[in-house]
């Protein structure tokens, strides 16, 4: 087994050490992005790949394997979990306080640097005025600080590249006439890469920040007319190429059932009246389809079949007496 460890998350080395402790043959390193992976992917003995990372890189891996498919001893097993453009869909019957608290947790914990982070939200106009006031008010209470400050809810993003990418989305929203930043929007790299929790209200449900994965503390909200609930469900399904996680907030059971059916291809992990992130390891198998990955559901027994080569053995201790079919035998 070969483990390529990202140099940006050094604590992952402890995972490698844990694997080595159990005597699993393993080679690991934190070198250049292609130093180890390129050699492994093109090797004839490649049996499979388990990938977690960006959609673009996963597609490159698929392309490389496809190009070299005739060189492998066996067809490589490919398992991947990539990005997401995860949503909160709010019905007019929803509990506003629950939506507000769940959305703040879903969008801003870990600085939004999770594949399951809440990145877009759809709110009925009848609830938006109250919800907007509460969202802005609660977001303004968020304290940012160092990781060892346990009174802080957020810290900096991981590095300068992430800071640059996320800041570019915020800058785009500032220049987009369909967008209005209702809270946040500040980016400060003087001492650490800090980006304030940002909420954008848009009149364009297909604007850039509603479609593309940002991987940062940026949430975009689209307000829909109450009588357009079903149409908005279709909009949720069609807006993004991803299908990782999503949530429906409602107390109306019909609305919940309708959303569950309409959005069945929009999220591999679907939540009812809960934030779109935070699946419990060992209890909630995780994964999504479309551009979000192969949806093999990490944390579930079925994924083990992706890592073994099954063999069927048939034993027969009754000698074959004749090669003819029964209907071919002539009467004596």
Higher pLDDT, 54 or 37: 54
Has residue 26 got a pLDDT over 60? no
Q: Are strands 242-243 and 289-290 parallel, antiparallel or unpaired?
A: antiparallel
Whether the per-residue pLDDT at 134 is higher than 60: the answer is yes
**47 is written with which tokens?**
């049996």
Mean pLDDT of the chain: 92
The predicted structure's pLDDT at residue 38:
82
d(CA 166, CA 160): 10
pLDDT, residue 297, reads 92
Asked which of 84-93, 122-131, 314-323 is least confident by mean pLDDT, the reply is 314-323
Instruction: Give the model's pLDDT for residue 302.
Output: 83
Of the listed 81, 109, 201, 213, which one is catalytic? 81
Superfamily (CATH H level) for 86-272: Aldehyde Dehydrogenase; Chain A, domain 2 (3.40.309.10)
Helices (H), the chain: 12-21, 37-42, 55-67, 96-108, 125-139, 160-175, 208-211, 229-239, 253-262
Sequence ranges of the chain with CATH classification 3.40.309.10 = 86-272
Q: Give the mean model confidence (pLDDT) for residues 184-191.
A: 94
Q: What is the pLDDT of residue 304?
A: 87
Instruction: Assign a CATH topology to domain 2-82+286-306.
Output: Aldehyde Dehydrogenase; Chain A, domain 1 (3.40.605)
In terms of pLDDT, which residue wins out, 298 or 152? Answer: 152
Residue 331 annotated in active site: no
Whether the pLDDT of residue 325 is over 60: the answer is yes
Q: Whole-angstrom Cα distance, residue 269 to residue 277? A: 9
- pLDDT single digits (tens) 98-123: 999 999 999 999 999 999 999 999 99
Mean pLDDT of the region 263-274: 97
State residue 178's pLDDT score: 98
Considering all CA atoms of the chain, what is the largest pairwise distance in Å, rounded to the nearest integer? 100
pLDDT in tens, 205-251: 999 999 999 999 999 999 999 999 999 999 999 999 999 999 999 99
Range(s) of the chain covered by CATH 3.40.605.10: 2-82+286-306
Structure tokens at 241: 């190429």
pLDDT band at 11 (very low <50, low <70, confident <90, very high): low
What's the rounded mean pLDDT across residues 132-149? 97
> Between the CA atoms of 28, 32, 35 and 36, what dihedral angle is there, to the nearest 10 degrees?
20
């Amino acid at each position: 087994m070969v483990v390529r460890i990202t140099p940006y998350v050094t604590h992952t080395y402890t995972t490698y050490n844990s694997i080595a402790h159990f005597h699993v043959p393993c080679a690991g390193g934190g070198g250049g992005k292609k130093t180890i992976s390129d050699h492994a992917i093109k090797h004839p003995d490649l049996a499979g790949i388990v990938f977690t990372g960006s959609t673009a890189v996963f597609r490159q891996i698929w392309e490389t394997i496809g190009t070299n498919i005739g060189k492998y001893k066996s067809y490589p097993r490919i398992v991947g979990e990539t990005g997401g453009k995860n949503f909160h869909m709010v019905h007019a019957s929803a509990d506003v306080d629950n939506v507000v608290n769940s959305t703040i947790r879903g969008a801003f914990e870990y600085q939004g640097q999770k594949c399951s982070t809440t990145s877009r939200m759809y709110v009925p106009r009848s609830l938006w005025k109250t919800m907007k006031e509460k969202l802005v008010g609660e977001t303004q209470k968020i304290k940012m600080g160092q990781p060892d400050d346990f009174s802080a809810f957020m810290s900096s993003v991981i590095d300068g590249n992430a800071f640059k990418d996320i800041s570019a989305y915020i800058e785009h929203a500032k220049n987009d006439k369909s967008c209005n930043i209702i809270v946040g929007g500040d980016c400060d790299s003087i001492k650490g890469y800090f980006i304030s929790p940002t909420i954008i209200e848009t009149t364009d449900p297909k604007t850039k920040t509603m479609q593309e994965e940002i991987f940062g503390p940026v949430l975009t909200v689209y307000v829909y007319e109450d009588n357009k609930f079903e149409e908005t469900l279709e909009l949720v399904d069609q807006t993004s190429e991803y299908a990782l996680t999503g949530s429906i907030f409602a107390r109306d059971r019909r609305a919940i059932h309708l959303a569950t059916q309409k959005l069945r291809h929009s999220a591999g992990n679907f939540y009812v009246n809960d934030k779109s992130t935070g699946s419990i390891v060992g209890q909630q198998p995780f994964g999504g389809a479309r551009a979000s990955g192969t949806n093999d559901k990490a944390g579930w027994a079925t994924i083990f079949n992706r890592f073994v080569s099954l063999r069927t053995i048939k034993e027969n201790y009754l000698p074959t007496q004749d090669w003819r079919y029964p209907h071919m035998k002539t009467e004596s």
